[in-house]
Amino acid sequence: MADESAKPGSRDHAALIVAVAENRDRAAFAELFSYFAPRIKSLLRRAGDSPEQAEELAQEAMLTVWRKANRFDPGGANASGWIFRIAQNLRIDAARRARRADRTASEFALEALEVDAPEAIVGATQMEEKVRRALAQLSADQRKVITLSFLESRPHSEIAELLQIPLGTVKSRIRLAFQRLRSLLEEVE
């Protein structure tokens, strides 16, 4: 990509992000928005997203830039790369949510057709109680990420933002929670 400060009348994009982070500078954000939003939309359209989806993700990406500008490290990341990575991560999250929604809809359709035998209902109720007891034995941090991820169907990036922890920490807590749950449920059987 060409030098980011080469555009006449514009400041360096990294400096604009820093201005947003430090001063909530709306003019700096407007300049970032006018430069990057159309480029993000174009990139997403070329990647196969609908015009509506590309518009929505571009808006969401720029909103994320506004909210997370303080996380930008001008010494470690190229401003364009940082912003486009945000957009790409949002696109990945949107695709996951869509797959999850499709899967859930088809599962509901199948469940509506099936009628469980009374023994199966009792077994499911017993298993549900075992899972509840196992969940109660998790640490509060692990229980929170499991609840947000699987019961509320929130993407990992949103959980990280809600809990104000790094994305890697969210994934690690989920992995450790599953290991602990597996161990607890095997003990019960």
CATH number (domain holding residue 137): 1.10.10.10
- Count other C-beta atoms under 10 Å from residue 149's C-beta: 19
Do residues 35 and 128 share a domain? Answer: no
Please identify, among 114, 135, 158, the residue that sits at the C-terminal boundary of a domain: 114
- Does one domain contain both 123 and 180? yes
CB contact set of 32 (below 8 Å; sequence gap of 6+): 13, 16, 17, 20, 62, 65, 83
In this structure, the answer to whether residues 87 and 169 fall within a common structural domain is: no
Domain count of the chain? 2
Phi and psi angles of residue 52, each rounded to the nearest 5 degrees, phi first:
-65, -45
Tell me the CATH number at 25: 1.10.1740.10
User: Are residues 43 and 79 both part of a single domain?
Assistant: yes
Low-confidence ranges of the chain (pLDDT < 70): 1-11, 102-124, 188-189
Tokens of 62: 């720029």
Question: Of the candidates 91, 114, 137, which is a domain's last residue?
Answer: 114
Residues 58 and 132 in one domain: no
Sign of the dihedral through C-alpha 45, 49, 50, 51: negative
Judgement on whether residues 129 and 59 belong to the same structural domain of the protein:
no
Answer yes or no: do 163 and 94 share one domain.
no
Do 35 and 84 belong together in one domain?
yes
Q: Tell me, yes or no, whether 95 and 186 share the same domain.
A: no
Query: Does the CA dihedral 153-157-162-166 come out positive or negative?
Result: positive
Please check whether residues 100 and 123 belong to one and the same domain. no
Pair (96, 76) in one structural domain: yes
Q: Which residue bears the tokens 């929170």?
A: 144
Q: For residues 48 and 14, state if they share a domain.
A: yes
pLDDT computed for residue 111 by the predictor:
56
Q: For position 98, what pLDDT does the model report?
A: 81
> What is the structure's pLDDT at 87?
93
Owning domain of residue 129 = 116-189
64, 93 Cβ separation under 8 angstroms: no
Residues 6+ apart with CB under 8 A from 110: none
**Domain boundary pick from 71, 98, 114:** 114
